[in-house]
Amino acid sequence: MALQNINPTSTNAWQKLKAHFEEISSLHMLDWFDKNPNRAKDFTIKWEDFYVDFSKNRINAETFELLMELAGEVKLGDAIEKYFSGDSINQTEGRAVLHTALRARPDYDIQLDGNPVMPEVIEVREKIKSFSEAINKGSLKGSSGKTFTDVVNIGIGGSDLGPAMVVDSLKYYQNNLKPHFVSNVDGDQVAELLKDLDPETTLFIIVSKTFTTQETLTNANTIRSWFADKLGDHAVAKHFVAVSTNLEKVRAFGIEEENIFPMWNWVGGRFSLWSAVGLSIAVSLGYDHFEGLLKGAQSMDDHFRTTPFHSNIPVVAALISVWYNNFFEAESEAIIPYTHYLNQFATYLQQAVMESNGKGVDRDGKSIDYQTGNIIWGEPGTNSQHAFFQLIHQGTKLIPVDFIGFVNPLHDNWDHHDKLISNFLAQTEALLTGKTDKEVLEEFKGQKADDITIGRTLPFKVFRGNRPTTTILIDSLSPESLGSLIAMYEHKIFVQGIIWNIYSYDQFGVELGKQLAGKILKEIENPEFEIHDSSTKNLIDYYKKHKKG
Ligand code: F6P
């Protein structure tokens, strides 16, 4: 069954939220904290080892209830059931969206066109398990009998960002295999990678859902030629494996049958790290950790599917995000993890969120006149504090921030960790409370500053505060907790897509640039000419005239 088609702006809740926004948009959160000593508790959700504090957001009890009403009016509950039950909710591509099946327990009963999905999922899971264990134990070796030391994932977009982020985030759990990722069609990236690799001890995983992606196939061909030059064509079979839905093209590339890991059309690239796309995760962290990641995601799936909306983390996070996006007209959201391990988390989320919800046509095929997908950006704290926090604290833009922190560090550097967490907590407090003229004046007086200095600099030292943050505090960074965290954001994306009445699981917006690049490549290679605007034509000419190759 298809998703319902409900314009959110036509709902009663939306109209009420508009009026409510006028009433409360100029109020300071601090007044709400003063009036309600239970505010922090009222807006905190404790779930497993997650403690999620939404209280430093520009919402009060009424906002919260109106947002819940909005979820009801757009029939979110019905949509969630369709999502989990394998309905064709990716309607523009005629597909189900079942990344939740990839991490589901084996007894999960889900049928697609009358066929159960789980047996195939389990079969591939078993294949990932036996392959990664054989690599890790050293029973599967390279062509010259040497144990593998390095693994290279060749893929781009969802076939790169998810696995790369997970492998980097969980490097504490890494085994002896050194992971590498090559994605860009930029030949300099692949050249730098190959400089340090020993072909005899390197495993290459080509990951491409379609097996037609220019970047991935170019890199795979370059690497294969480099490899065959060194060890001969006959050695390829022992070193190259592939993950794809396009088995014909994989075979044509010359990958051995037993080295092919299938995936399915009902998994979107940006949600595919739970499938064999995550093979680099399983081999470089060990299968048990890969399974831990799946388990963590699965628990979040249960939470999302079964918890009433009021205490449902992805639902609340998504509704608050809609509140800022559509009523406060906030353009972006920052994701700031206070662990350097999650260095690539915002980059990963950029694809997940922006490729999913960056849409301007609704489910009725009509142009949308309200805002959809948020711009996602971020860097780990505390580095980001010394880079762009100035703008978040005192700039003119409203930027809701997710602060993600861990109670326990992975290495016992408590001196560092206490400092890290003090910063984590201090930033959310500073963004909430700010600093008034009066407080700045008091501070000046304490420093015995003269009147001229005070007059000259006081306004610049004032912080208005009232800047929204959500604090996500997790016990520690583990495969399980990371799995839950990623799934939390995946479901937040889903909920927002439902509210905005868009299709979150296609990505037609990436196609035009690809088509034009194909045409321009032909013109670079030979004198034929297509019609271009004068700027593009001049640039092509300039490039052709000046290139030395
Ligand atoms: O260009 C965007 C995209 O289609 C993404 O959605 C996808 O994750 C990526 O390209 C890679 O695609 P593939 O896995 O088919 O190579």
The enclosing H or E element of 334 equals strand 332-337
477 with 495, same domain: the answer is yes
Domain boundary among the residues 291, 321, 342 is at 291
**How far lies 489's CA from each of 159, 218, 221, 324, 503, in Å?**
18, 32, 35, 17, 17
Q: Is the CB of residue 507 below 6 angstroms from any atom belonging to ligand 1?
A: yes
203 neighbors 152 (Cβ within 8 angstroms): yes
Give the mean pLDDT per block of 10 residues along the chain (549 residues). Answer: 94 98 98 98 98 98 98 98 96 97 96 94 98 97 98 98 98 96 98 97 98 98 98 96 96 93 97 98 98 98 98 99 98 98 98 98 97 98 98 98 98 98 98 97 95 96 98 98 99 98 97 94 85 93 94
Q: Alpha carbon 483 to chain centroid distance?
A: 12
Domain assignment present for residue 463? The answer is: no
HSE-CB for 82 with a 13 A CA cutoff? 19
Domain assignment present for residue 346? The answer is: yes
Q: Is the CB of residue 213 below 6 angstroms from any atom belonging to ligand 1?
A: yes
- The model's pTM is 0.98
Q: Which segments within 163-249 are labelled E, that is strand?
A: 178-182, 202-207, 240-244
Please choose, from the candidates 498, 435, 428, 468, the residue with its C-alpha nearest in 3D space to the C-alpha of residue 330. Answer: 468
Instruction: Tell me which of 99, 154, 159, 273 to substitute to probe ligand 1's pocket, judged by most ligand atoms within 8 Å of the beta carbon.
Output: 159
239 with 336, same domain: the answer is no
Which segments of 286-434 does DSSP mark as H helices, in order? 287-306, 313-322, 345-349, 356-357, 389-394, 414-433
Query: What pLDDT, on a 0 to 100 scale, did the predictor assign at position 526?
Result: 85
Domain assignment present for residue 456? The answer is: no
Helical axes 313-322 vs 287-306, angle rounded to 10° = 70
Q: How far is the CA of 159 from the centre of ligand 1 (A)?
A: 7
333 with 255, same domain: the answer is no
Which segments of 25-160 does DSSP mark as H helices, in order? 29-35, 39-42, 61-73, 76-85, 99-102, 118-137
Q: How far is the CA of 384 from the centre of ligand 1 (A)?
A: 29
284 with 327, same domain: the answer is no
Please choose, from the candidates 55, 74, 80, the residue with its C-alpha nearest in 3D space to the C-alpha of residue 14. Answer: 74
CA atoms of 278 and 167, how far apart (whole Å): 9
Query: Given the CA of residue 507, which atom of ligand 1 is nearest to it?
Result: 6
Query: Given the CA of residue 207, which atom of ligand 1 is nearest to it?
Result: 14
114 with 133, same domain: the answer is yes
Query: What pLDDT, on a 0 to 100 scale, did the predictor assign at position 528?
Result: 75
Domain assignment present for residue 95? The answer is: no
Residue tagged active-site, from 200, 215, 333, 355: 355
Domain assignment present for residue 108? The answer is: yes
CA atoms of 272 and 99, how far apart (whole Å): 7
Query: What pLDDT, on a 0 to 100 scale, did the predictor assign at position 1?
Result: 81
The enclosing H or E element of 406 equals strand 401-408
Instruction: Tell me which of 154, 209, 215, 511 to substitute to probe ligand 1's pocket, judged by most ligand atoms within 8 Å of the beta carbon.
Output: 209
346 with 230, same domain: the answer is no
Quick check: is 514 catalytic?
yes
Phi and psi at residue 439, to the nearest 5°: -65, -40
Closest residue by CA, ligand 1 atom 9: 157
Please choose, from the candidates 269, 295, 163, 173, the residue with its C-alpha nearest in 3D space to the C-alpha of residue 213. Answer: 269
276 with 326, same domain: the answer is no
117 with 193, same domain: the answer is yes
Q: How far is the CA of 224 from the centre of ligand 1 (A)?
A: 21
Cα dihedral value 262, 268, 273, 277, nearest 10: 30
Q: How far is the CA of 156 from the centre of ligand 1 (A)?
A: 6
Question: What residues does 243 pair with on adjacent strands?
Answer: 207, 261
Range of the domain at 534: 509-546
Closest residue by CA, ligand 1 atom 10: 157
**How far lies 306's CA from each of 276, 303, 309, 322, in Å?**
27, 6, 9, 22
Q: Is the CB of residue 275 below 6 angstroms from any atom belonging to ligand 1?
A: no
For the segment 63-99, what is each residue's pLDDT rounded down to a tens digit? Answer: 999 999 999 999 999 999 999 999 999 999 999 999 9
Domain assignment present for residue 80? The answer is: no
The enclosing H or E element of 536 equals helix 534-546
Q: Is the CB of residue 158 below 6 angstroms from any atom belonging to ligand 1?
A: yes
Q: Which CATH number do you get for residue 371?
A: 3.40.50.10490
Query: What pLDDT, on a 0 to 100 scale, did the predictor assign at position 527?
Result: 79
CA atoms of 12 and 58, how far apart (whole Å): 21
Q: Alpha carbon 318 to chain centroid distance?
A: 14
The enclosing H or E element of 335 equals strand 332-337
518 with 495, same domain: the answer is no
469 neighbors 57 (Cβ within 8 angstroms): yes
353 with 259, same domain: the answer is no
Quick check: is 355 catalytic?
yes
Query: What pLDDT, on a 0 to 100 scale, did the predictor assign at position 529?
Result: 73
Residue tagged active-site, from 137, 386, 545, 546: 386
Q: How far is the CA of 16 from the centre of ligand 1 (A)?
A: 40
Please choose, from the candidates 340, 321, 304, the residue with its C-alpha nearest in 3D space to the C-alpha of residue 486. Answer: 304
Residue tagged active-site, from 171, 310, 366, 514: 514
Amino acid of residue 307: T
Which segments of 108-160 does DSSP mark as H helices, in order? 118-137
Cα dihedral value 334, 335, 336, 342, nearest 10: -150
Domain assignment present for residue 439? The answer is: no
Instruction: Tell me which of 510, 511, 514 to substitute to probe ligand 1's pocket, judged by most ligand atoms within 8 Å of the beta carbon.
Output: 510
The enclosing H or E element of 405 equals strand 401-408
Q: How far is the CA of 268 from the centre of ligand 1 (A)?
A: 9
Query: Given the CA of residue 158, which atom of ligand 1 is nearest to it?
Result: 8
For the segment 356-367, what is each residue's pLDDT rounded down to a tens digit? Answer: 999 999 999 999
Please choose, from the candidates 341, 517, 302, 512, the residue with its C-alpha nearest in 3D space to the C-alpha of residue 420. Answer: 341
Q: Which two tokens stand for residue 173?
A: 């759990």
Total domains in the chain come to 3
Query: Given the CA of residue 213, which atom of ligand 1 is nearest to it?
Result: 16
49 with 190, same domain: the answer is no
Instruction: Tell me which of 182, 185, 206, 213 to substitute to probe ligand 1's pocket, judged by most ligand atoms within 8 Å of the beta carbon.
Output: 213
Amino acid of residue 108: Y
Largest CA distance in the chain: 82
**How far lies 502's CA from each of 89, 262, 325, 505, in Å?**
10, 29, 15, 9
CA atoms of 295 and 400, how far apart (whole Å): 30
Domain assignment present for residue 444? The answer is: no
55 neighbors 308 (Cβ within 8 angstroms): no
Q: How far is the CA of 60 from the centre of ligand 1 (A)?
A: 41
Question: What residues does 180 pair with on adjacent strands?
Answer: 152
194 with 244, same domain: the answer is yes
